[in-house]
A and B are shown apart, each in its own frame.
Chain A
Amino acid sequence: MAGRESNIVKIVGIENYEKIRNCKCLLVGAGGIGSELLKDLILMQFGEIHIIDLDTIDLSNLNRQFLFRQKDIKQPKSTTAVKAVSHFSNSKLIPYQGNIMDTNQFPLHWFNQFDIIFNALDNLAARRYVNKIAQFLSLPLLESGTSGFDGYIQPIIPHLTECFDCTKKETPKTFPVCTIRSTPNLPIHCIVWAKNFLFNELFASSITENNQDEQRLEDKQDWGTEDKEEIERIKQETNELHELQKIIYSKDSSKIVNILEKLFIHDIEKLLLIENLWKTREKPTSLTLEHIESSKKIDVSKLKLDQIWSLEEQIAKFINVTEILMNRYSIEKSIEFDKDDEDTLEFVVTAANIRSYIFGISMKSVFDSKQIAGNIIPAIATTNAIIAGLSSIVSLRVLNLLNYANVKKPTDINMAFTSKASNISNQRYLSNPNLSKPNCNCAVCSKVCRGVLEVSTVKLQTSTLGELIELIRTTFKYPNDVSVLDVSGQRLLADFDFDDLLDKTLEDLKLGEGDVLLFTDDEGDEDSNQFRKSLELYIAVVSDKSDDYIKLPSIEVPLIEKIEEAESNDMEEEINIATNANEETIILIDEEEALELDKQSKGKRLEREDSSDKDNIKKIRTTNTIEDDIIELD
C-alpha cells in the first residue's frame, strides 16, 4: 500500500485502520493545543472530526496557533482552522462556533455520537463540564493543558481511571482587604487596587449600584485587621471615591488633578495618621504638588510600553488617559477593564505605579503589568505541539488499536507531563505514570451515581415533580425522605419540610434539556447506618418518542456507609481574588461564592523541586490550566 494511509496501516494494521476511518472525534478547542491536535488527528486519518471554539482570532495567537494568519484576525477560530487544513485533510471536518457548555447548541445526546473526546481547553469551568459529560456518557476523554514550558496529558476512561476532578485543584491566591487598601508591599497589590477597586469605582457602573455592592461586600469580607480605626478609614475612603466619580461625570478634564490629589496625597496623609500601621512597616511617602506640576511638561506620545516610566511620566500618562476615559464614559456609560483595551490598561498601570512609588514598591512596565492585570499565561508553539502529539499518540491505546501493546486494564495506559522543561528531572524529558483508579472520594465520578433521564416534550408538561420523585424512589429504592436539588439552577426543589413544589409540572419548574437533578437520601437506614448513594440525573428531552415517554437510566444505585463530611469551612474569611471562568477579570467575592469557586479555580505556580512522580503530576495538573484564564500569582 502506498498512499497517505500507508504509515498508519503499518502501525495499527489494516483492521484497526478501518476502525480509525470510522471513528468520530470531538475536539473541544481550536486554540494552541486544538490547532495542533486537529493537524495530528487528520494525519492519523481519523474519519470524522468535529471541532468547537467560541473564540475569534487575535494577533497574540499567531506565535503558536499555526493555522491562523494576520488576515484571519477577528475571524472565528473553528471555521478558519477547518479551512486552513483543507489542503492536507482526508477527514470529514465539522466546525462549530459556540460554547461547549451551551446546552441548546450542544445537548447531551449530541455528545453521544462521538467515540472519543479531545479537550484542548483554556479554562477550568469547561474542562470540568466536558469531564462530567464524559462521565454521564462513559466516553473516553483525552484531557490536556499547557502553560509556558509546562504541559500535561491525562487520558480519562470513565469509572475505570481517575477523572479530571479526582485531584483537588488549588484555590486562588487571596489578599486581605487591608493589604490592598492600606498596606501594599508587592506590585500586584497595587495593580489589584487600581483594577478591582479604583477602576471599578470610577468607570464600571453607576453610583447607586456601587453602593449596594460595597455594602454587601463589607458585611462579609475579611478586613485582615481588627483595627476599628483602619476599617472606618477604608469605609470612609470608599464613600469619598463616589465623589470622584462625579468628576468623571462632569467631563471637566481640569479636575483630574483633584483625583490625583485625593488618591495620592490626601488619602495617604490620612493613612499616615493611623500610627499602628507603621510600627513595623515602612511609611508611605505621599505625592507632592510639585510632582504633579512637573509632569505637565512631559510628552506622553513618546513613552514605550516595554519600559518603566519615571514618576512624572506615570502622572502625565495618568492625566492623559483619564481624560480619554472620561470622554468615553459619557458615551459608553460604563467601561469595563479589558487588558486589550489600551486606555483601561494604561489607567490601571499608571495608577498602580504611582501607588507603588508611594509605598516604596518597584514600578512595572505596561508590558509586565498587563500580564498580572490581564491574567495572561505565557504560551508557546513547542509545548502545545508536544502535548497535542502525546494526546494523539495515546488515543491509540485508549481506543486499544495497538495489537502488540494490548491494553489489559485501563490503568496500564500512561499519562504524561513535561518533567525536564518543568525542572522536575534531568533524566527524563517526560514523566509518564500509569493512570490511577478513580478517587473514591471524588464528588464527580465516585460519590454519586449518574445517568440520563429521558423524557418526551409532552411528559415534561404533564408530569409533576411529585410523580417524578415517586418514580425515582421506587425504581432505585430510596426511602421516604429524599431531597431534590436542581444542580444547574442551584435551587432546592423538595425535601422533608419543603413540599410546595410537588404539584408543579417539570415545565412549570423550568426544568428541561441539560438541567441536572440531584437526589439525596436524607433518611438512611437507622439499623445498618447505610444510605442509598446520591443520584445525579441529566434531563434529556426527546422528541421522537410517545407522549407518555419517560425513561430512567438502567443502573443500580447501591447502599453505602454514611461518611461524615470533613469540615471544610474553618478557613479564614478573606477576599478571594479568583478568576471568572469566562471573563478574564479578577473579581472580589465574598466567602460563600469563594467556596463555590474553590471548586473551579486553579492554583499556584509549580513548585520546582524533586519528589515522586505522583506528587509532581498533582502539582502539574493543579498548575496548568492553559492560556488565558488564570491569574498567575507567585
Chain B
Amino acid sequence: MSSGDSNLSADEIALYDRQIRLWGMAAQARMRSAKVLLINLGSIGTEITKNIVLSGIGNLTLLDDHTVTEEDLGSQFFLSKENVGYKRLEVTKDRIQELNPRVNLTYDVGKFKEKDAEYFKQFDLIIGTELSTLETIELNKITRRFNIPLYIAGSNGLFAYIFVDLVQFDAVDEKLKSSVPVEIGRISSNKEVIEVNVRIDEDDSKKIYEKVTTRHHYKTFEDVLQAASLKDKLNRRQLKRLSGAVPLTFAKFNLQNNQACPTSEELRKSMQAISNKFGVPVENIKDEYFEQFANQSGIEFAPVSAVIGGAVAQDVINVFGKRQSPICNFIIFDGITLDMPIYEF
C-alpha cells in the first residue's frame, strides 16, 4: 500500500462526510490508495463490491468468468433479465462504476484457475467468494507467499461463513479506561496485547482512554481445517445452543476437495466425522435441520449475502483505515437464529 496523497479534496469530504465522521480523514485517504482484488461476482461478491465501491476504495479489480443465469436474477441486483447468457462482468460494469465514478475499476474475465501466482502480487488485499476448499487452500498459499491479507466468504442458503487470514495484524483500539487496567500478554489463542497507552481527552480531562495495541496471529485455511475443534472450549449450555451450521459448514469443507454439491449421504458421513473432531454430539443436529442444510447447498440468498458482504466489506475498510480490531479468524452465520459466532481456530 503506498501512502498516497493524504489530502482529500473538498468534494471528497462532502461526498464521504458521514463516514469520515466515523473513521477520519486519514483512513479515508488510505482507502483511496488501496488496491483490492475480488474473485467472483456472485451474490456475496455483489454486496462486497457495492459496499467497498461506495466507501471510496481507490482501486478494485473484479475477476469473474461466469455467464449470467436465470437463478442469478434472484440474488444479484446488478443484473436484469436481458443479461442472461452474457458474461457477468460485461453486463454489470457500467452499473458498478455508476455507484462511484471516483473508483478505479478493472474488469478481468479471465479464469481464476489460470492465473499464475505473480498475478496476485499486485494487490494489497484479496477477497475470494464462492471458492471450493481446494481453490481456497491454493489461493491462501499464494497470499501467504506475498504476505497479502485474505478474506474468504461463502454461503449455503440461510447459512454462511467468513474466513480471514491477515497473517499478522496489529490493531489499535481505544476505549474508556475501566477499573481493571488492560495488561500486556496473551488474551486468547490468537491474540496478544503488546502495548497499552493512556490518553486523556483534550476537552474533558476526566475522560481517560486506553489505547491498546493487540497483535492478531492468523492461521492458514489449511491449518484451520486441521486444527478446528470446539473440544473443551464450550460449556454445556453453549454446546446445547451451538448452531448446527458450525459442524455442517466444516463437514462441507471436507467434502469439497472432491465436489461442489455433495449428496445428502456424503454430507451426513462427513458431518459425523466432524462432530467427533469438534466434540459435538451428533444428536445435536436434528434430521430436519440437516436435510434443509443439504437441500440449500449451492443456494445464494440475497439477504444473507447482504449480512456477510456487509461484514466482510466493513472489515476490509477497517484494515485499511486501521480502525477497530479485524475479524480473527472464522465466522459462521445461521440465518434461522441469527447466531453469528466468531471463532479463533
Contacts and interface: CB of A to CB of B under 8 A. Distances in A.
User: Is the A/B pair a real complex?
Assistant: yes
Contact of A60 (B17, B70, B301, B317): B17
Nearest to A151: B310
Interface in A207-243: none
B256 interface: no
A392 B306 contact: yes
A382 interface: yes
A139 B341 CA distance: 32
Nearest to A356: B203
Contacts of A45: 74
Given A88-B73, A427-B342, A362 B299 contact: no
A404 B307 contact: no
Nearest to B306: A389
B338 to A, nearest CB: 4
Contact of B74 (A7, A397, A427, A609): A7
B65 interface: no
Interface in B311-345: 311, 313-314, 317, 324-325, 327, 331, 333, 335-342
B18 A427 contact: no
Interface string B18-51: 1111100100000000000000000000010011
Contacts of B98: 69
A148 B22 contact: yes
A487 interface: no
A414 B173 CA distance: 30
A404 B288 contact: yes
B19 A7 contact: no
A371 interface: yes
Contact of B324 (A149, A392, A402, A416): A149
A218 B50 CA distance: 53
Interface stretch (A36-44, A248-256, A501-509): A36-44
B15 interface: yes
A383 B18 CA distance: 13
Contacts of B19: 63-64, 378-380
Interface in A79-136: 85, 87-88, 90
A351 to B, nearest CB: 18
Given A87-B80, A385-B309, A66 B74 contact: no
A8 interface: yes
B120 interface: no
Contact of B51 (A40, A382, A607): A382
Contacts of B18: 60, 63-64, 376-380
Contacts of A608: 175-176
Contacts of B309: 385
A78 interface: no
Nearest to B328: A426
Nearest to A397: B336
Interface in A1-49: 2-8, 10-11, 36, 39-40, 42-45
A237 B10 CA distance: 39
A149 B173 CA distance: 14
B303 A389 contact: yes
B249 interface: no
A187 interface: yes
Contacts of A40: 302-303, 306
A364 to B, nearest CB: 9
A392 B173 contact: no
B310 A386 contact: yes
Contact of A305 (B13, B78, B173, B327): B13
A4 B306 contact: no
Interface string B76-88: 1111100000000
Interface string B162-184: 00000000000101101000000
Interface string A55-67: 0000110111010
Contacts of A420: 327, 342
Interface string A387-420: 0111011100100001011000000001010001
A39 B302 contact: yes
Contacts of A380: 18-19, 22, 55, 314
A339 to B, nearest CB: 11
Interface of A: 2-8, 10-11, 36, 39-40, 42-45, 59-60, 62-64, 66, 69-70, 85, 87-88, 90, 148-149, 186-187, 305-306, 361-362, 367, 371, 376-386, 388-390, 392-394, 397, 402, 404-405, 414, 416, 420-421, 423, 426-430, 432, 607-609
What 9 A-B pairs are tightest by C-beta distance, nearest first?
A389-B306, A43-B302, A385-B310, A386-B310, A4-B73, A392-B303, A4-B74, A378-B22, A382-B314
15 contacts: A6-B71, A59-B17, A63-B16, A63-B54, A306-B13, A378-B21, A380-B18, A381-B310, A390-B307, A392-B303, A393-B304, A393-B307, A421-B324, A427-B342, A429-B331
